[in-house]
Structure 1
Amino acid sequence: MTELEKTSRRKQCILNAVTAALQQDDYSRLTVEDIAARAGVGKSTIYRWWKHKSDLVFDAFKEHTASVFDLDFEQSLEFNLNQQLLKLSLALNHPLGRALLVVMAEHREAAGEFFRQYLLPRREQTRKLIQLAIERNEIIANYPFELMLDTLYGPIHYQIIFFNCMPDETYIHNLVSLVMQPVLVRK
């Protein structure tokens, strides 16, 4: 086994340990010591690759959701938004997702970096899907789509954070229908 493969396996063990620890306890009780013990590595090994436990949560969440938010450009914008919001609800309701929400609230600089590295590329994909929907004559071209996206994703976070409730398929379908009404092309 090469050194690169060993490093990759160690990192994977550490990220798996983060997930396992969060299955049993919340973010406030998560410690690097516990993660190291679960992964069978020393704390120094963890600190070689991650500066803070929040970085571990970000990476574990990214890995957990690596292909979850892929869009299907053959399907309509409405279909994709419904699917994406359902998957987001499930991801944020997972212990890693809940920890991520805490980290983003407590560590603004780290949250900004996560936004730039992880969320912005996904939002850019959604913008491409919006452009494709315009070209397909599904939706009108002249609309504040950034505001539309915020309006779609905000309620998901709100339901999970403030009501401790995972939005179900009906809630998400109604939300997408409501937000899509002003942009649909009337035929």
Structure 2
Amino acid sequence: MAESKAPDSSRRSERSRRAIYDAALALVTESGYARTTIEGIAARAGVGKQTIYRWWPSKAAVLLEAFVDLGDQAAREAGGGATAYEIPDTGDLETDLKLVLRATVDEMNNPAYDLPSRALAAEGIIDSELGAEFARKLLEPQLRLYVRRLAAGQDAGAVRRDLDLRIALELLVGPVAHRWLLRTLPLTHEYADTVVEYALHGLAPRT
């Protein structure tokens, strides 16, 4: 008789973890953050709530990890491995920044990203520890991509050498984030293009 193998606990744990990620993201999208509970996530994932509490201290922590994993999956599908996207360097800084800011707009308009991201941003204001982790795991990796692309622009002579690149990137991502947060005006590709043009060329008349 063939020798039976013991269940692989690591694979079982990974399946459970993946089910919990999917459940958390789905419930926040369908019902909103306030109505999402650990009990609801557990029921949707088909696990006991103690399984969730063994790995995470709160529903916010579950959602944060699920959201980070969602970004990693998207990067892998795009061929970037388990890392954040890189901003392309075609030699045309304006074109490259418009491309990535348009992609950011598309992501912000996608309910799968929009609703969990809003929930985490709001909860991070109340919970400073979660807010710091949200910034470290989700925001900082994306912001560093802008810094690297702007630094390459400096090397190519397309960006002033005396600029603080951390402030410069805020001219690009700040307006988009502000419009996304307020939801008073549409977030479009045309808007993203205009933000890039204003950031690169300024408001003064061109001579």
**TM-score bin, normalised by smaller chain:** 0.7 to 0.9
Distance 1:160 1:131 in 2: 27
CA–CA separation in structure 2 for the residues paired with 1:114 and 1:133: 28
Distance between the aligned counterparts of 1:92 and 1:71, measured in 2? 18
- The match for 1:87 among 79, 103, 110 is 103
How far apart in 2 are the matches of 1:64 and 1:87?
Answer: 16
**Is residue 2:99 matched to residue 1:99?**
no
Q: Which amino acid aligns with 1:64?
A: L
Residues 74 and 62 from structure 1, CA distance in 2 versus in 1: closer, same or farther, beyond 3 angstroms? same
- List runs of 5+ in structure 2 lacking aligned partners: 1-6, 79-83
Of 6, 13, 17, 2:12 maps to 6
The 10-residue stretch of structure 1 (38-47 or 134-143) with the greater mean CA deviation from structure 2:
134-143
By how many angstroms is 1:63 displaced?
1.8
1:70 maps to 2:76: no
- Residue 43 and residue 17 in structure 1: after superposition, are their counterparts in 2 closer, same or farther (change >3 A)? same
Aligned counterpart, 2:4 = none
Q: Which has the higher helix share?
A: 1
Q: Which structure has more RCO (C-alpha within 8 Å, separation ≥ 6)?
A: 1
Letter in 2 for 1:13: A
1:99-178 to 2 correspondences below 5 Å: 99-163=119-183, 165-178=185-198
- The Cα of 1:59 is off from its aligned counterpart by 1.4
CA–CA distance in structure 2, aligned partners of residues 56 and 100 of structure 1: 10
TM-score (norm. length: structure 1): 0.85
- In the alignment, the residues of structure 1 paired with residue 184 and residue 20 of structure 2 have an alpha-carbon distance, to the nearest angstrom, of 28
Cα RMSD for the two superposed structures:
2.2
Kindly indicate whether residue 48 of structure 2 is the aligned counterpart of residue 42 of structure 1.
Answer: yes
Q: List, as ranges, runs of 4+ consecutive aligned residues in structure 1 with deviation greater than 4 Å.
A: none
Shift of 1:90: 3.4
CA distance in 2, matches of 1:102, 1:164: 18
Larger Rg: 2
1:65/1:91 contact within 8 Å kept: no
Residues matched between the structures, number: 183
1:91/1:97 contact within 8 Å kept: no
Q: TM-score, normalised by structure 2?
A: 0.78
> Any stretches of 5+ residues in structure 1 without a counterpart?
none
SS in 2 for 1:88: helix
